[in-house]
Amino acid sequence: MAGPAAARQPAKPARQAPKLPAFTWVAKTRSGEEKSGEMEAADLESVQMRLRQMGLQPVKVKKKPVEINIKIPGLGGVSRKELVIFTRQFSTMIDAGLPLVQGLDILASQNPNPEFKRVLREVKEKVETGSTFADALGDHPKVFDALYVQLVAAGELGGILDTILQRLGVYIEKAEKLKSKVKGAMVYPSVVLVVAIGCVAVLLLFVTPTFEKMFKDFGGTMPGPTQLVIDLSNWLQDAILYIVVGLIAAVVAFLKAIKTPKGREAFDRTMLKMPIIGELLRKVAVARFTRTLGTMLSSGVAILDALDVTAKTAGNVVVEKAITHTRTKIAEGKTIVEPLAETGVFPAMVVQMIGVGEATGAMDAMLGKIADFYDDEVDSAVAALTSMIEPVMMVVLGGIVGFFLIAMYMPIFTMAENIH
């Protein structure tokens, strides 16, 4: 009989069975049709035996090579382009009558991205256990966001999954085009600004000291512009370390601040109030809001659920709060127009057009038209911004370099006159 001490001993945890190796196989049915797949088994003979039990004649069985998937922070994952391709291909398969699990199996085996392949296999396995497709997708929020999952759930419920997936593909494509337009508008001026700062730093830190030494050797009084450049160069050489440390500290503090709720809201509100960029960002927010809400409503999602998802995918805290406020008021029994107008975030024209859509029962179609209109507005705003910034940046950069050259050459002209 075991003593009290022995009775109190914790039970040893059961050992997990070692994971069996995976094999790929090709086999033929009795009718001669060729099939292929993967199977976990102890050895090659076990795979062949199981295939024969399934009524298949093995043709080729081999051990699956080990997939090496090194994850580097900031890299990898699933791109939006890959998601669009998957969505469109899967929609075509469902429309052609292919079973859900078989379609997932085909797309997983053909996908070149190891991460996406792993996700699709996990989705397929969960669907095979009886889960809905939407629930299986919901386990991977980094790949399939709330909007995607909600629309798929609506498609499954309404029996129109192929149509929903097709709409999703179009939506993601248009959303990505909108995002790339804004990025394109910001990249050019940012690059020019960095080049301008780099040029000025090189001129002041390395070129000016050489000229200063030469001018001192010749003696005489420096012209005003030359002395200004030399003083600026000396100051920069003394303060460069403090400037670099200060900039790094400012960037770190800024990144930490915008991760807090209040900091993020203050930043988003400031961006919307900026003279030129603010108007562009407002148009982008309207286009995204109307496109997302219109896609969800046309797919049969209830307006409160649609507004909830639209708020989460707004991309701007101020816009998100405005949509959440609207959702709360609609839940209390109000129409969508009144609370939207109260927020002051959306232009009056947009609010009125949504009101007309609500009154006529065609809000999804009206939202689509507004989204198309604001997509064009964003195109025009980006083109105008780029055409305005380009000459301004060139003039500023040219002016800085020109002033430096004049300041450096003025003493040389003075010295040449003294020699004569």
Mean pLDDT of 138-144: 90
Q: Using one digit for the tens of pLDDT, what is the confidence trace for 321-349?
A: 999 999 999 999 888 888 988 888 888 88
pLDDT band at 14 (very low <50, low <70, confident <90, very high): very low
Maximum distance among all Cα pairs of the chain, rounded to whole angstroms: 119
- Rounded distance between C-alpha atoms, residue 346 and residue 338, angstroms: 12
- Rounded distance between C-alpha atoms, residue 350 and residue 343, angstroms: 13
- Rounded distance between C-alpha atoms, residue 95 and residue 163, angstroms: 8
Q: Do 164-419 and 80-144 fall under one CATH topology?
A: yes
pLDDT band at 18 (very low <50, low <70, confident <90, very high): low
Domain boundaries, the chain: 22-63, 80-144, 164-419
Mean pLDDT of 289-298: 88
Mean pLDDT of 32-54: 80
* Amino acid 418: pLDDT: 59
Residues in the chain: 420
pLDDT band at 253 (very low <50, low <70, confident <90, very high): very high
Enter the DSSP assignment of 205: I
Q: Using one digit for the tens of pLDDT, what is the confidence trace for 72-105?
A: 444 458 888 899 899 988 888 888 888 888 889 8
The answer to whether 23 touches 38, Cβ cutoff 8 Å, is yes
Residue 265, pLDDT above cutoff 70: yes
Residue 252, pLDDT above cutoff 90: yes
Averaged confidence pLDDT in the chain: 82
Mean pLDDT of 116-129: 91
Phi/psi of residue 28, nearest 5 degrees? -115, 145
* Amino acid 278: pLDDT: 85
Counts for the chain of helices (H) and strands (E), in that order: 17, 3
β-partners of residue 411 are none
Burial label, 293 (beta-carbon count in 10 A; 0-12, 13-18, 19+): buried
**CATH architecture of structural domain 80-144:** Up-down Bundle (1.20)
* CATH 1.20.81.30 is right for the domain spanning 164-419: yes
Mean pLDDT of 254-272: 90
Residue 69, pLDDT above cutoff 50: no
* Amino acid 109: pLDDT: 86
pLDDT band at 19 (very low <50, low <70, confident <90, very high): low
User: Which range, 16-20, 138-142, 415-419, is most confident?
Assistant: 138-142
Residue 249, pLDDT above cutoff 90: yes
Higher-pLDDT residue of 282, 20: 282
The answer to whether 50 touches 60, Cβ cutoff 8 Å, is no
- Rounded distance between C-alpha atoms, residue 241 and residue 238, angstroms: 8
- Please tell me whether residue 35 adopts helix, strand or coil conformation: strand
Residues 6+ apart with CB under 8 A from 69: 114, 115, 118
- Please tell me whether residue 245 adopts helix, strand or coil conformation: helix
* Amino acid 419: pLDDT: 57
Higher-pLDDT residue of 268, 213: 268
- CA dihedral defined by 144, 146, 150, 151, rounded to 10 degrees? -60
The answer to whether 61 touches 48, Cβ cutoff 8 Å, is yes
Ranking 9-23, 40-54, 406-420 by mean pLDDT, the lowest is 9-23
β-partners of residue 374 are none
Q: Using one digit for the tens of pLDDT, what is the confidence trace for 173-224?
A: 888 888 887 777 777 778 878 888 888 888 888 888 888 887 777 766 778 8
Residue 6, pLDDT above cutoff 50: no
